[in-house]
Amino acid sequence: MPETLLTDVEQLPILFSRDQIQARVSEMGRQIRQDLCGEPAVLIGVLKGAAIFLADLARSIEVDCTFDFVSASSYQSGTRSSGAVQLIKDLDEPIEGKNILVIEDILDTGVTLNFLYSHFERHKPRSIRIAALLDKPSRRIQPIQADYVGFQIPNEFVVGYGMDYAERYRNLPDIRILTPNAVS
């Protein structure tokens, strides 16, 4: 467990402020609403990191929608990716014939979303769209792209707005860079 305390959070550099995030999420919502052309959608949040993004994006989309959640883990505790995906929680409701919007906080190696995309495809939805708040294209090892990306970022480990380090920092309103010295 890192020694960094929540009181040290202010020392972590801000990558995107809460205002920047809010503005971008609103833009993404407007674009998604347009693209759905008034059709209903199932918003599928990938737990846990996407919970806060889903909550904000859902209110920006303003279409007839339902929520569902899956949980698939590709990271070990800490900053290292394990490469293997484990489906921990599947969908609650059938998605056959429905428009689905998969909502992720961050698209990194693409291992998680690539796995989930194939999983959802097998259930024959009408359409699959992916919204990722953050995208780290330099880290991609699987050929998957999001239809909607909030921000492209360099290869930094980020926390806040749903994203964690060892389950902490998810509730920070800004997205901050977890600098190596913060966890040493």
The stretch near ligand PRP (CB under 6 A) out of 3-11, 93-101, 106-114, 146-154 is 106-114
Dihedral sign, Cα of residue 115, residue 93, residue 163, residue 154? positive
Which class for 21: exposed (0-12), middle (13-18), buried (19 or more C-beta within 10 A)?
Answer: buried
Restricting to residues 34-93, name those near ligand PRP by CB under 6 A.
Answer: 46-49, 73-75, 81
User: Which segments within 5-124 are labelled E, that is strand?
Assistant: 14-16, 41-47, 65-75, 81-89, 99-107
Shortest distance in whole angstroms from residue 48 CB to ligand PRP: 4
Q: What is the DSSP string of 129-170?
A: EEEEEEE-GGG--S----SEEEEE--S--EEBTTB-BTTBST
Is 112 a binding residue for ligand PRP by CB under 6 A? The answer is yes
Shortest distance in whole angstroms from residue 18 CB to ligand PRP: 19
Shortest distance in whole angstroms from residue 129 CB to ligand PRP: 16
Shortest distance in whole angstroms from residue 46 CB to ligand PRP: 5
The span from the CA of 124 to the CA of 135, in Å, is: 26
Q: Is 108 a catalytic residue?
A: yes
Closest listed residue to residue 24, CA positions, set 132, 146, 151: 151
Figure out which of the listed residues 105, 128, 130, 172 binds ligand PRP, where binding follows CB under 6 A: 105
The span from the CA of 70 to the CA of 5, in Å, is: 30
The CB-nearest residue to ligand PRP is 49
Q: Which of 56, 105, 108, 164 is catalytic?
A: 108
Is 104 a binding residue for ligand PRP by CB under 6 A? The answer is yes
Asked whether 47 and 57 are in contact (CB, 8 A), the reply is: no
Figure out which of the listed residues 44, 52, 100, 111 binds ligand PRP, where binding follows CB under 6 A: 111
Which of residues 55 and 63 has its CB atom nearest to ligand PRP in the complex?
Answer: 55
Q: Which residues bind ligand PRP (CB under 6 A)?
A: 46-49, 73-75, 81, 104-113, 164
What residues are annotated to the active site?
A: 108
